[in-house]
Amino acid sequence: MSATLVSNDGWYPAGWRGHPARQMPDYADGNALAAVETRLSNAAPVVRSEDSARLREAMAELAAGRGFLLQGGDCAESFDDPVAEQVAGIVGLFDAMAERLRSVAGVPLVQVARIAGQFAKPRSDTAETHEGVTLPAYRGDIINGMAFDAAARVADPMRMIRAHMQSVGTAASLAAARDGNVPIFTSHEALLLPYEEALARRDAGGRWWATSGHMLWLGDRTRQIDGSHVEYLRGIENVVGVKCGPTVSSDELLRLVERLDPRNRPGKLVLIGRFGARKIGDVLPPLMRALRLAGRSIVWTVDPMHGNTSMSGKRKVRRLPDILSEIDAFFAIARSEDVHGGGVHLEMSARDVTECIGGRGPASIDELEKNWQTACDPRLNAGQAIDLAAHVADLLA
């Protein structure tokens, strides 16, 4: 299949298989997995490489210090999501947030949704235990089911086919909803590499593109320089995001950036800080300084969600004041380090969910159950997300 073709620098889509792989499921039936991969390698792309190239151009503007990236959406998509309703909701939410940001963000205001492929989730633990029963952890609908029973938790490669079909429909609906207007690009974490490899396509110029989404990102748990995820992402032409947690050092980040983009192309890499309100002040300044002094042409954004997660029993808890505090710190640090604060990356829903405490959300942990719908992590509801956009607009002004 086409994935066996090799690029000029020796990279090819299956090359990740020779590197250590983390956060990957164990499929019991290798033949079934191979059959799915072959089917996907001949399937329609989710997005066009020409549109992914447009996003690269927009990101290059941000790397030059012009504009703002609004990236957000569900923690994880579900096979049960009603696509038309989901797309209408995210478009409406982006419109409402963009209205508050556009006048102060400058041009362009780049909009990227976590949609049309965000089906896989990294997990801290490989198993879950409830009432004395231990089963494999839920890793997202593209891998296994959320129901806590043995059959649902088996990793099933056929789920990739369903994820692909739903992603194609979602991406088409999203494009149609914004036809003739500012596009909302798609993005997801490039976690399930058999899926990503099968959807890699080569253009007429010999360049490889991931057609699973316009922008893919590398998770904080899979950013090992010699790892399989870095190996795959270093070879594609798409915009690549890199989640940066509080354990990353300046030297490690410099090596990682060099590995992913040795040519230092403007707009190729987006560094997404996810440090937590209590740690960002110590961790982020030396990272920004090191990248700036090294002359790296990258975009810095902040994910204020993941670093501000605590546990109450088995319930994940996020509080809006912590989220806003990290955002405030991010833009203040960026100014002090002479770095362009390029945007925000949010887990958010257009629905009136009660998953994050504060603002136009639940007032306490006891109220989280009122409308908790997320498949994994807590999301801002529409009111909280719009208010957050207004808060960011005030900071930028």
Interval 222-254: pLDDT, tens: 999 999 999 999 999 999 999 999 999 999 999
Q: Is 159 helix (H, G, I), strand (E, B) or coil?
A: helix
- Calpha distance 86→130 (Å, rounded): 31
Helix (H) or strand (E) holding 187, with range, is: strand 184-189
Question: Cα 29 from chain centroid?
Answer: 29
Tokens standing for 75?
């923690």
Element (H, E) at 342: strand 341-347
User: Residue 282: pLDDT above 60?
Assistant: yes
> Tell me, what's the pLDDT at 1?
37
Q: pLDDT value at position 215?
A: 98
Q: Is the pTM of this model over 0.75?
A: yes
- C-alpha span between 180 and 82 (Å, rounded): 24
> How many other C-beta atoms are found inside a 10 Å radius of the C-beta of residue 134?
9
* Domains parsed from the chain with CATH numbers: 53-123+157-396 (3.20.20.70)
Partners of residue 114 on adjacent β-strands:
73, 187
Q: Which residues pair with 209 in a beta bridge?
A: 201
- pLDDT-derived band at 315, boundaries 50, 70, 90: confident
Tokens of 328: 């405030």
How much is the pLDDT for 375?
80
| Residue among 39, 3, 71, 54 at smallest CA distance from 302 | 71
User: Averaged over 132-156, what is the pLDDT?
Assistant: 96
